[in-house]
Structure 1
Amino acid sequence: MCISSADYPASLERRKIYVALRDVAAEKQGMLRIADESGDDYLYPAALFRTIALPRSIKKAVLAP
């Protein structure tokens, strides 16, 4: 979930759930690969996000195409 969009107001919405795509190289540098509002994926500072646990039914709905 995004906790701050101050530096990226056109790309991210605060309090919105985003899907993070696995990118080991980016994670080593403190970044996350996020599918943002454009529908494309970009690197953002990991500090802008918090991992949240979702119930299975909600996770399924969030990840559905």
Structure 2
Amino acid sequence: MKWAVCVANDDHQASLEVRKLYRVLADRKGEALGMIRVIDESGEDYLYPGAMFETIAVAPPLERKLKRA
């Protein structure tokens, strides 16, 4: 499972919070276009510009807790 931190929410203030951790879903077509698919504040997954996020590595114990949350 991949995770990313939102570093900008230009034009997406209702959908994304800066400095918040988001779950990333695989989307090869989106990635080829420089986009990233995340589960946003609506609880749905959408494509956003990749520059709005920084992907991060999450330690296994924390990842287990995040999956349960």
Query: Which 5+ residue runs of structure 2 have no aligned equivalent?
Result: none
Aligned counterparts of 1:63 and 1:17: Cα–Cα separation in 2: 12
- Tell me, what secondary structure is at the counterpart of 1:50? strand
Q: Point out 4+ residue stretches in structure 1 off by more than 3 angstroms.
A: none
Aligned counterparts of 2:55 and 2:67: Cα–Cα separation in 1: 15
Query: Which 5+ residue runs of structure 1 have no aligned equivalent?
Result: none
Q: Structure with the greater relative contact order (CA < 8 A, sep ≥ 6): 1 or 2?
A: 2
Aligned counterparts of 2:6 and 2:35: Cα–Cα separation in 1: 13
TM-align CA RMSD:
1.1
Output the TM-score relative to the length of structure 2: 0.87
Aligned counterparts of 2:9 and 2:66: Cα–Cα separation in 1: 20
Percentage of matched positions with identical amino acids: 45
1:9 to 3, 9, 13: 13
Instruction: Name the structure with the higher strand share.
Output: 2
How many residue pairs get aligned? The number is 65
